[in-house]
Amino acid sequence: MIRSDIARGILSLIILIALLLTSFTACTSTITMSIYKDEIGSGKSKGYVAFYSPKLGGQIYSLQDGLEIDEDIEIYGNRPVGIARTPGRHEFIIYHKKNKVNVSVPVFPDAITYVSVAEQVIGKTYSYSTYKYLVHVSVGSTPMPILPESSDSRMLTSALSDKDWGTRQFALQGLIQTKVVPDSTTLERIRFLASRDRYREVRETASELLRYLGEKIPSRPLHFDTFEHNSEPLWYIGSKEGESDYYFDGEGYNIDSKAETWAWEIKDLLELLSDVPNYDIEVDASWKEGVTNFDYGFVLLQDKGNYYHLSISKNGFARVGLIRNSVLQDSLIPWQNHASESIFSNDINNLKLEVRGKDATYFVNGAVIGRFILYDGFMPNEIGLFIYGKQKVVFKSIRIKAR
């Protein structure tokens, strides 16, 4: 690699490391900031790209004029690793074993752009001793301060809604350092991240910030599957009879049906609810394409012959049905349109079942769709995701909480 003004670059690096290590060890919760590679030199406009991969790791290459240039940087662990670049958009390649991901990163003057790397398990190898996985990379769009305690806290609060999970995590850590008391809107966002963010690292950091602020920390759910990691037992990946495809794409778990029939995948609850009489089940899902008048949603099963199915349709309706002894029963809650406006407008819809003993209530986006009674002897052993008809839906999360 061609190096410019090595002596000045080394001096700049030493100064920056000293500043960062001094500024970012004041709070034990804060991950020590990146040791940056800086070959631009002092006195020039620049920003930083910080690569963050706490679990997976990888090698960083830059892409310049179509050529891959080895930056001699490996990312792994809780310390982000960064590269100085002039303001503008820069291209990089992240390699991990046989995986290769190209990313385009915006660089802002005197700020950090985070690039977060995570794995998505998609199955086991033929030996069943190791896993097959995809590499997912997200790029932050919010410029982050190099020294949070000397920055405008509004930069950090705006980053709490960034699509990149690493940006959200470091924004939360920055708020811990700045000791700023957030307004009510920001506090509500922090609570949301503590209870519902797809990434465990973000949930834990948000909970730590709430603890620091003296706020109540959301209780941990019995089960929280955000499809960030494909935990055992694994969700199915592949095609079933050429009629439906099941896969991960970084947004969640996709079910894509090409036939006018049911497509579903079921997961064992491992007796999670055997001794829990009162609980909530929430599923977040995003309709992508296809028919608009057929349903999608989730099923709560005792077995494949006895289950409840709770659903919505893209055209704004919702219902609850029951299969008992492998026979379709009359609808417990026929098609309703109480939540049609939110179903139309929301990119992600929330389906929620509240169970209190035998009494059950079905909500969509916070609106009550209806109530019904669980039949005597019903024991929830499995949960499933389903769609009906030719449509594609991405399921974002499943959350089960004792009440």
Does 229 share its domain with 182? no
CA distance 112 to 310: 44
C-alpha 356: how far from its chain's center?
29
Contact, 369 vs 292, CB < 8 A? no
Q: Is 263 helix (H, G, I), strand (E, B) or coil?
A: strand
Q: Is 216 helix (H, G, I), strand (E, B) or coil?
A: coil
> Residue 345 domain-assigned?
yes
Q: To the nearest 10°, report the CA torsion of 19, 54, 206, 199.
A: 150
CA distance 321 to 304: 14
pLDDT, position 229: 61
Does 124 share its domain with 31? yes
pLDDT, position 251: 80
CA distance 284 to 298: 10
- DSSP tag of 20: H
Share of the chain above pLDDT 70, in %: 85
Q: Can you read off the two tokens belonging to residue 326?
A: 């492998």
**Helix spans in 86-199 (H):** 153-159, 165-178, 184-196
Domain residues for the domain of 284 are 224-402
Does 181 share its domain with 104? yes
CA distance 214 to 198: 24
Does 318 share its domain with 193? no
pLDDT band at 322 (very low <50, low <70, confident <90, very high): very high
Closest CA to 46 of 90, 104, 103, 91: 90
pLDDT tens readout for residues 109-156: 989 999 998 876 666 555 444 556 777 888 999 999 887 766 678 889
Buried b (16+ CB within 10 A) or exposed e, 153-180: bebbbebbebebbbbbbbbbbbbbbbeb
Task: For residue 202, give Cα distances in angstroms to 11, 161, 289.
Answer: 34, 12, 30
pLDDT tens readout for residues 10-67: 434 443 443 443 333 333 344 444 656 787 878 889 999 999 888 777 788 888 888 8
270 pLDDT above the threshold of 70: no
Does 22 share its domain with 108? yes
pLDDT tens readout for residues 141-200: 999 988 776 667 888 999 999 999 999 999 999 999 888 889 999 999 999 999 888 888
Does 295 share its domain with 385? yes
C-alpha 277: how far from its chain's center?
29
Does 194 share its domain with 239? no
Q: Can you read off the two tokens belonging to residue 25?
A: 């060890």
**Cβ neighbours around 222 below 10 Å, total:** 16
Does 271 share its domain with 383? yes
Contacts (Cβ under 8 Å, ≥6 apart) of 320:
308, 309, 310, 311, 331, 332, 333, 362, 369, 370, 372
> Residue 175 domain-assigned?
yes
Does 119 share its domain with 22? yes
Q: Can you read off the two tokens belonging to residue 90?
A: 């820069």
Contact, 74 vs 81, CB < 8 A? yes
Mean residue pLDDT of the chain comes to: 83
Which of 159, 186, 213 is the last residue in one of the domains?
A: 213
**What's the structural domain count of the chain?**
2
338 pLDDT above the threshold of 50: yes
- DSSP tag of 148: G
pLDDT, position 355: 96
What is the helix, strand, coil percentage profile of the chain, to 5? 20, 45, 35
pLDDT, position 148: 72
Q: Which residues pair with 42 in a beta bridge?
A: none
Q: Can you read off the two tokens belonging to residue 84?
A: 């100085």
Burial of 51 (0-12, 13-18, 19+ CB in 10 A): buried
pLDDT, position 272: 77
- pTM listed for this prediction: 0.73
Does 300 share its domain with 385? yes
pLDDT tens readout for residues 345-402: 888 999 999 999 999 999 999 999 999 999 999 999 899 999 999 999 999 999 999 8
CA distance 21 to 25: 6
Closest CA to 349 of 318, 322, 320: 318
Does 282 share its domain with 186? no
Q: Which residue has the higher pLDDT, 240 or 395?
A: 395
Closest CA to 104 of 164, 63, 50: 63
Does 126 share its domain with 265? no
